């Protein structure tokens, strides 16, 4: 009997618990779902104002001295020490001796040839006095002025056929030019600076044997440099000599002013580029320095300039209309590393100034600033 009573109580308890649970579930089912707040991104915008945009072409290259000389020896001899060391970094003024080779042996042969010429002229003087008394004084004057320690003076001017036959027949003219040839070669034992500059390479040292045709070093003028850059052929007609160029160092720490000194008249068939040479002067510049050049090419009327990452692959840009993003088609005119010049963007159009992650047409946005564009290119 007791067992039946306990089972009845448990059954009633289960029925009551099920009733309560069912009511709880029904009540919760009709509760309103929580409303998720809508996020509206804040974007930076600007209002379009079409202006004249100058195109700036970026190029880069290494500086090379405009005046440079590779030093070679045309004769053989022992390198003799001079007043200044022949070492890289050594400065020389114009006309100073860079290299002097031992020419004592060759100098003796030159003196012997000059002496033979003097003796040949002296030997014909008695005949000139007897047969050519009218030309005798000028040849006597030539002999009197002849100095073996100085450069051989030019022969007197031959005035007639008889004098020509007589002088040439005695071998005077051939002996003279032989001496001048030896004297000319004697000057090659000494190399002088063609301009004031500095040695950048020295391949020989004092006391070494220098051979004919051997490279000795390099000599440059450190005051004027040139940079060779390759520009697209589309700018061949607009680039002119004398155009100002802004040159920037690799770390953007320094800027230098240069100008276009030369423009190659032909286009590279492989790369379809034209070579432009930029001249620049500054005391801080060194040969081999890497610089970036910005050349003013031409101007685009009724255009704007924006960051390249704002231009979509479909040649469209985002605009803001009634707090919604939309896209419009544009016409790119010129691309640089970071900028793009666009046309066909109506004045007054509100465009993005910075990219928006995850942007899409129809996206709700809030404008943070409204800035009018300017016509300057940085």
pLDDT in tens, 109-154: 999 999 999 999 999 888 888 888 888 899 999 999 999 889 999 9
Looking at 168, 187, 206, the residue that finishes a domain is 187
Whether residues 267 and 279 share a domain: the answer is yes
CA distance 111 to 103: 12
Give percent above pLDDT 90 in the chain. Answer: 35
Whether residues 141 and 153 share a domain: the answer is yes
Asked whether residue 36 is domain-assigned, the answer is no
What is the chain's mean pLDDT, rounded?
85
Helix (H/G/I), strand (E/B), else coil: 233: helix
- Predicted local confidence at residue 378, as pLDDT: 35
CA distance 129 to 358: 110
Mean pLDDT computed over 61-73: 93
Whether residues 156 and 216 share a domain: the answer is no
**What is the secondary structure of 175-228 as a DSSP string?**
HHHHHHHHHHHHGGGEEE-SSSEEEEEE---TTPEEPTT-EEEEEE-TT-EEEE
- Work out how many domains the chain is built from and give that number: 5
CA-based nearest residue to 101, from 127, 72, 138: 72
What is the pTM (predicted TM-score) of this model? 0.66
What is the domain extent for residue 79? Answer: 67-96+193-220
Whether residues 249 and 308 share a domain: the answer is no
Whether residues 274 and 237 share a domain: the answer is yes
Whether residues 352 and 336 share a domain: the answer is yes
Helix (H/G/I), strand (E/B), else coil: 137: helix
CATH for 306: 2.40.420
Whether residues 146 and 281 share a domain: the answer is no
Asked whether residue 334 is domain-assigned, the answer is yes
Q: Are 295 and 239 in contact (CB under 8 A)?
A: yes
Asked whether residue 378 is domain-assigned, the answer is no
Cα 83 to Cα 32, 107, 321, distances in angstroms: 101, 21, 80
Whether residues 228 and 290 share a domain: the answer is yes
Whether residues 292 and 305 share a domain: the answer is no
CATH for 279: 2.40.30.170
pLDDT in tens, 312-346: 888 889 888 888 888 888 888 877 778 888 888 88
Asked whether residue 289 is domain-assigned, the answer is yes
- Predicted local confidence at residue 180, as pLDDT: 94
C-alpha of 322 from chain center: 49
């Amino acid at each position: 009997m007791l067992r039946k009573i306990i089972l009845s109580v448990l059954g009633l308890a289960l029925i009551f618990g099920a009733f309560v649970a069912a009511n709880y579930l029904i009540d919760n089912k009709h509760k309103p779902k929580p409303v998720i707040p809508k996020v509206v991104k804040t974007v930076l915008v600007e209002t379009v104002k079409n202006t004249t945009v100058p195109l700036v072409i970026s190029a880069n290259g290494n500086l090379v001295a405009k005046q440079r000389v590779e030093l070679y020896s045309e004769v053989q001899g022992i390198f003799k020490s001079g007043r200044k060391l022949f070492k890289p970094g050594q400065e020389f003024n114009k006309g100073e001796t860079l290299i002097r080779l031992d020419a004592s042996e060759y100098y003796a042969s030159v003196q012997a040839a000059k002496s033979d010429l003097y003796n040949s002229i002296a030997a014909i003087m008695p005949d000139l006095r007897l047969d050519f008394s009218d030309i005798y004084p000028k040849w006597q004057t030539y002999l009197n002025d002849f100095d073996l320690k100085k450069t051989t003076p030019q022969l007197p001017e031959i005035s007639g056929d008889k004098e020509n036959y007589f002088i040439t027949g005695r071998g005077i003219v051939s002996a003279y030019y032989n001496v001048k040839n030896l004297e000319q070669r004697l000057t090659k034992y000494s190399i002088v600076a063609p301009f004031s500059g500095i040695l950048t390479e020295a391949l020989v040292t004092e006391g070494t044997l220098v051979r004919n045709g051997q490279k000795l070093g390099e000599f440059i003028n450190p005051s004027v440099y040139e940079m060779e850059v390759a520009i697209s052929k589309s700018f061949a007609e607009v680039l002119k000599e004398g155009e100002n160029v802004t040159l920037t160092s690799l770390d953007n720490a320094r800027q230098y002013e240069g100008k276009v000194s030369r423009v190659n008249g032909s286009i590279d068939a492989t790369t379809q580029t034209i070579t432009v040479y930029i001249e620049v002067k500054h005391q801080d510049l060194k040969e081999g320095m890497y610089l970036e050049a910005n050349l003013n090419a031409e101007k685009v009327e009724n255009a704007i300039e924006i960051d390249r990452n704002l231009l979509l692959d479909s040649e469209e840009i985002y605009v803001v209309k009634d707090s919604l993003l939309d896209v419009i088609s544009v016409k790119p005119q010129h691309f640089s590393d970071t900028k793009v010049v666009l046309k066909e963007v109506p004045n007054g159009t509100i465009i993005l100034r910075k990219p928006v992650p995850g942007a899409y047409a129809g996206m709700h946005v809030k404008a943070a600033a409204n800035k009018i564009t300017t016509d300057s290119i940085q």
